[in-house]
Amino acid sequence: MEDKEWVNKTFFGEIVDCYMLADLAKIEKNFDPNNECGNCNFPLALQIFSCMDFIGWLISNPKNKPDDTSGNIIAFIFEFFSEKSKKQVMEVDKFIKIFRHGLTHEYFAKSAGISRKGTELLSIDIVKEALVLDADVLLGEFRSSITELRKKVNEDTALATQIKTRYLEMRNNNSLVTQGIISRSQGNNTITRSTSLKLPIYPSNASVAPPVTLPPELIK
Protein backbone atom coordinates (compact mmCIF):
# COMPACT_ATOMS: atom_id res chain seq x y z
CA MET A 1 0.00 0.00 0.00
CA GLU A 2 1.38 3.42 -0.97
CA ASP A 3 2.17 5.74 1.93
CA LYS A 4 -0.49 8.31 0.99
CA GLU A 5 -3.08 5.57 0.69
CA TRP A 6 -2.07 4.16 4.08
CA VAL A 7 -2.26 7.56 5.74
CA ASN A 8 -5.68 8.31 4.25
CA LYS A 9 -7.12 4.86 4.97
CA THR A 10 -5.52 3.94 8.29
CA PHE A 11 -4.32 7.14 9.93
CA PHE A 12 -7.19 9.42 8.91
CA GLY A 13 -9.90 6.83 8.33
CA GLU A 14 -9.37 4.54 11.31
CA ILE A 15 -7.66 6.80 13.86
CA VAL A 16 -8.45 10.48 13.27
CA ASP A 17 -11.99 10.15 11.90
CA CYS A 18 -13.22 7.04 13.70
CA TYR A 19 -11.66 7.68 17.09
CA MET A 20 -10.51 11.27 17.55
CA LEU A 21 -13.09 13.34 15.70
CA ALA A 22 -15.98 10.99 16.47
CA ASP A 23 -15.19 11.02 20.19
CA LEU A 24 -14.82 14.79 20.19
CA ALA A 25 -18.18 15.19 18.44
CA LYS A 26 -19.84 13.09 21.14
CA ILE A 27 -18.20 15.07 23.94
CA GLU A 28 -19.07 18.37 22.24
CA LYS A 29 -22.80 17.57 22.42
CA ASN A 30 -22.72 17.56 26.21
CA PHE A 31 -23.62 21.19 26.81
CA ASP A 32 -26.48 22.79 28.70
CA PRO A 33 -26.30 26.61 28.91
CA ASN A 34 -28.55 26.51 31.97
CA ASN A 35 -26.40 24.09 33.94
CA GLU A 36 -22.78 24.62 34.92
CA CYS A 37 -22.27 20.93 35.72
CA GLY A 38 -21.84 18.11 33.23
CA ASN A 39 -20.81 20.24 30.26
CA CYS A 40 -17.56 18.31 29.68
CA ASN A 41 -15.37 21.42 29.65
CA PHE A 42 -12.39 19.51 31.02
CA PRO A 43 -12.77 16.24 29.05
CA LEU A 44 -13.20 18.13 25.77
CA ALA A 45 -10.09 20.26 26.24
CA LEU A 46 -7.99 17.37 27.55
CA GLN A 47 -8.98 15.08 24.66
CA ILE A 48 -7.89 17.75 22.17
CA PHE A 49 -4.54 18.18 23.91
CA SER A 50 -4.05 14.40 23.75
CA CYS A 51 -4.79 14.38 20.02
CA MET A 52 -2.43 17.30 19.38
CA ASP A 53 0.32 15.58 21.37
CA PHE A 54 -0.06 12.40 19.31
CA ILE A 55 -0.22 14.07 15.89
CA GLY A 56 2.33 16.73 16.83
CA TRP A 57 5.02 14.09 17.22
CA LEU A 58 4.16 12.54 13.87
CA ILE A 59 4.52 15.85 12.02
CA SER A 60 7.26 17.53 14.09
CA ASN A 61 10.27 18.72 12.12
CA PRO A 62 12.92 18.37 13.41
CA LYS A 63 11.73 15.19 15.06
CA ASN A 64 10.73 15.52 18.70
CA LYS A 65 10.89 12.77 21.28
CA PRO A 66 7.57 10.89 21.52
CA ASP A 67 7.23 11.83 25.20
CA ASP A 68 8.00 15.53 24.63
CA THR A 69 4.38 16.48 25.21
CA SER A 70 4.96 20.23 25.33
CA GLY A 71 7.11 20.19 22.20
CA ASN A 72 4.65 18.00 20.31
CA ILE A 73 1.64 20.17 21.13
CA ILE A 74 3.49 23.37 20.28
CA ALA A 75 4.65 21.81 16.99
CA PHE A 76 1.02 21.06 16.13
CA ILE A 77 -0.24 24.51 17.13
CA PHE A 78 2.41 26.39 15.18
CA GLU A 79 1.98 24.23 12.11
CA PHE A 80 -1.79 24.53 11.84
CA PHE A 81 -3.52 27.02 14.15
CA SER A 82 -4.71 30.42 12.97
CA GLU A 83 -2.30 33.32 13.37
CA LYS A 84 -4.60 34.89 15.96
CA SER A 85 -4.62 31.78 18.15
CA LYS A 86 -0.87 31.22 17.74
CA LYS A 87 -0.24 34.77 18.90
CA GLN A 88 -2.43 34.25 21.97
CA VAL A 89 -0.60 31.04 22.86
CA MET A 90 2.76 32.79 22.48
CA GLU A 91 1.68 35.56 24.84
CA VAL A 92 0.86 33.13 27.66
CA ASP A 93 3.89 31.91 29.57
CA LYS A 94 3.73 28.17 30.25
CA PHE A 95 0.53 27.65 28.21
CA ILE A 96 0.96 23.86 28.04
CA LYS A 97 1.84 23.59 31.73
CA ILE A 98 -1.18 25.64 32.81
CA PHE A 99 -3.77 23.84 30.72
CA ARG A 100 -2.65 20.43 29.44
CA HIS A 101 -0.51 19.47 32.43
CA GLY A 102 -3.00 20.95 34.87
CA LEU A 103 -5.93 19.03 33.39
CA THR A 104 -3.90 15.82 33.20
CA HIS A 105 -2.27 15.82 36.61
CA GLU A 106 -4.45 18.03 38.80
CA TYR A 107 -7.90 17.64 37.16
CA PHE A 108 -8.24 21.44 36.94
CA ALA A 109 -6.17 23.83 34.87
CA LYS A 110 -3.49 25.45 37.03
CA SER A 111 -5.16 28.56 38.52
CA ALA A 112 -7.05 28.97 35.24
CA GLY A 113 -10.39 27.99 33.75
CA ILE A 114 -11.95 26.11 30.83
CA SER A 115 -15.04 27.57 29.15
CA ARG A 116 -17.50 26.42 26.48
CA LYS A 117 -19.08 28.25 23.54
CA GLY A 118 -16.72 31.22 23.64
CA THR A 119 -15.38 33.29 20.76
CA GLU A 120 -11.70 33.56 21.74
CA LEU A 121 -9.19 30.78 22.35
CA LEU A 122 -7.90 32.61 25.42
CA SER A 123 -9.61 35.28 27.48
CA ILE A 124 -9.67 36.72 30.98
CA ASP A 125 -12.43 36.29 33.54
CA ILE A 126 -12.25 39.78 35.03
CA VAL A 127 -14.39 38.96 38.07
CA LYS A 128 -12.43 35.84 39.04
CA GLU A 129 -9.14 37.21 37.69
CA ALA A 130 -8.44 33.96 35.86
CA LEU A 131 -7.05 33.05 32.47
CA VAL A 132 -9.62 31.04 30.49
CA LEU A 133 -9.20 28.58 27.61
CA ASP A 134 -12.32 27.94 25.54
CA ALA A 135 -12.71 24.26 24.68
CA ASP A 136 -14.98 24.86 21.68
CA VAL A 137 -12.62 27.36 20.06
CA LEU A 138 -9.80 24.87 20.68
CA LEU A 139 -11.95 22.21 19.00
CA GLY A 140 -12.58 24.46 16.02
CA GLU A 141 -8.85 25.03 15.63
CA PHE A 142 -8.21 21.29 15.86
CA ARG A 143 -10.80 20.45 13.20
CA SER A 144 -9.42 23.11 10.87
CA SER A 145 -5.94 21.75 11.51
CA ILE A 146 -7.00 18.24 10.49
CA THR A 147 -8.49 19.61 7.27
CA GLU A 148 -5.20 21.36 6.53
CA LEU A 149 -3.19 18.25 7.41
CA ARG A 150 -5.24 16.13 4.97
CA LYS A 151 -4.49 18.64 2.24
CA LYS A 152 -0.77 18.68 3.02
CA VAL A 153 -0.53 14.89 3.06
CA ASN A 154 -2.14 14.61 -0.36
CA GLU A 155 0.28 17.22 -1.72
CA ASP A 156 3.43 15.98 0.01
CA THR A 157 4.51 12.35 -0.30
CA ALA A 158 7.41 12.92 2.10
CA LEU A 159 4.99 14.03 4.84
CA ALA A 160 2.81 10.96 4.27
CA THR A 161 5.88 8.75 4.54
CA GLN A 162 6.99 10.53 7.71
CA ILE A 163 3.61 10.07 9.38
CA LYS A 164 3.43 6.39 8.47
CA THR A 165 7.03 5.68 9.48
CA ARG A 166 6.75 7.41 12.84
CA TYR A 167 3.38 5.88 13.63
CA LEU A 168 4.70 2.38 12.96
CA GLU A 169 7.82 3.21 14.98
CA MET A 170 5.65 4.27 17.91
CA ARG A 171 3.48 1.17 17.70
CA ASN A 172 6.50 -1.11 17.39
CA ASN A 173 8.11 0.45 20.47
CA ASN A 174 4.86 -0.04 22.37
CA SER A 175 4.56 -3.65 21.25
CA LEU A 176 8.04 -4.41 22.56
CA VAL A 177 6.77 -3.53 26.02
CA THR A 178 4.04 -6.15 25.89
CA GLN A 179 5.51 -8.72 23.49
CA GLY A 180 5.54 -12.15 25.08
CA ILE A 181 3.92 -10.93 28.27
CA ILE A 182 0.59 -12.65 27.87
CA SER A 183 -0.29 -16.05 26.57
CA ARG A 184 -3.64 -17.71 26.25
CA SER A 185 -3.89 -20.55 28.72
CA GLN A 186 -4.85 -24.01 27.54
CA GLY A 187 -8.31 -25.33 28.21
CA ASN A 188 -10.02 -22.19 29.52
CA ASN A 189 -10.93 -18.69 28.51
CA THR A 190 -8.42 -16.71 30.56
CA ILE A 191 -5.26 -14.74 29.89
CA THR A 192 -2.33 -15.54 32.16
CA ARG A 193 1.00 -13.88 32.83
CA SER A 194 4.08 -15.32 31.15
CA THR A 195 6.40 -17.07 33.59
CA SER A 196 9.28 -14.89 32.38
CA LEU A 197 7.48 -11.66 33.24
CA LYS A 198 9.12 -9.69 36.03
CA LEU A 199 6.75 -6.71 36.27
CA PRO A 200 3.07 -7.04 37.25
CA ILE A 201 1.75 -5.40 34.07
CA TYR A 202 -1.21 -7.79 33.84
CA PRO A 203 -3.30 -9.42 36.55
CA SER A 204 -2.17 -13.00 37.11
CA ASN A 205 -5.53 -14.42 36.06
CA ALA A 206 -7.30 -11.77 33.99
CA SER A 207 -10.49 -12.71 32.18
CA VAL A 208 -10.96 -12.07 28.47
CA ALA A 209 -11.97 -8.45 27.87
CA PRO A 210 -15.33 -7.32 26.44
CA PRO A 211 -15.39 -5.47 23.07
CA VAL A 212 -12.53 -2.97 23.19
CA THR A 213 -11.09 -0.07 21.22
CA LEU A 214 -7.62 -0.95 19.93
CA PRO A 215 -4.98 0.55 17.64
CA PRO A 216 -5.65 -0.53 14.02
CA GLU A 217 -2.71 -2.94 13.85
CA LEU A 218 -4.12 -4.94 16.79
CA ILE A 219 -7.53 -5.39 15.19
CA LYS A 220 -7.64 -8.85 13.65
Is the model's pTM score more than 0.85?
no
Q: How far apart are alpha carbons 106 and 144 in whole angstroms?
A: 29
> Where in the chain are the domains?
3-169, 182-218
Q: pLDDT class for 171, splitting at 50, 70, 90?
A: confident
pLDDT digits (tens, 9 = 90+) for 64-99: 888 899 999 999 999 999 999 999 998 887 999 999
Summarize the confidence of residues 28-38 as an average pLDDT.
Answer: 90
In order of 14, 30, 84, 103, 134, the CA distances from 27 in angstroms are 19, 6, 25, 16, 14
For the chain, the maximum distance between any two Cα atoms, rounded to a whole number of angstroms, is 66
pLDDT digits (tens, 9 = 90+) for 113-128: 999 999 999 999 988 8
In order of 46, 142, 163, the CA distances from 20 in angstroms are 12, 10, 16
